[in-house]
Amino acid sequence: MATRPFIGLKRVWYGDVVKTVTTPETGYTAAELKALIATMTEVKNVHQDTWGYEESDPSVTDYINELTGQPYYRDVTQAAIPTVSFTLGEYSFEDKAALQGGKATDDGWERTDMTALVEKSIVAMTKTGNFIFMPKANIVGKGSFVEKNIGLGVSAVPLETGVKGLASEKWFDGSNVKLE
């Protein structure tokens, strides 16, 4: 398998949480991803230099040999947590309600119970044509002041799906997805 870089952001989509996988033994496929993207909402404007993918360091406990001062065992107590983030520079009130919570109204948006969790699926396509897929992600949306614009800052952290064969995060070689 050839190596492929995951550089920059070309397109990003959000949609309902994915709750099924066709064949659990093989996992979510590129064909399923392509079909899913057709049903998702595409983000049309991501403010410059706000796209990012970061993975935290895992939490570990080192067990030290008292005699040598060196670790003899290391226990990972919490796995690394990946986060996709971006800021919408222009967005609809429907986008704001979907990604931040609150309620889109006939003439705008209003803040409602902002403690309700927002969960969506997220797909990001890199400039090099590859895909990052989070079938169930916790979304934190918020007003984000960027260059005198109140953008809609979004961060997405993948959650366990609870679906056999559906990983919390999957990366795809874009040559297998082939969007038109």
Structural contact between residues 104 and 91, judged by C-beta atoms closer than 8 angstroms: no
3-state helix, strand, coil in the chain (%, to 5): 10, 45, 45
| Cα–Cα–Cα angle for 58, 59, 61, rounded to 5 degrees | 130
Report pLDDT for 1.
Answer: 53
pLDDT (tens digit, 9 = 90+) per residue, 57-77? 999 999 999 999 999 999 999
**CA distance linking residue 87 with residue 141, whole number of Å:** 9
The three-state (H, E, C) secondary structure of 76-91, written as one string: EEECCCEEEEEEECCC
Structural contact between residues 86 and 8, judged by C-beta atoms closer than 8 angstroms: no
Residue 35 has pLDDT above 70, yes or no: yes
pLDDT band, very low/low/confident/very high, at 2 (cuts 50, 70, 90) = low
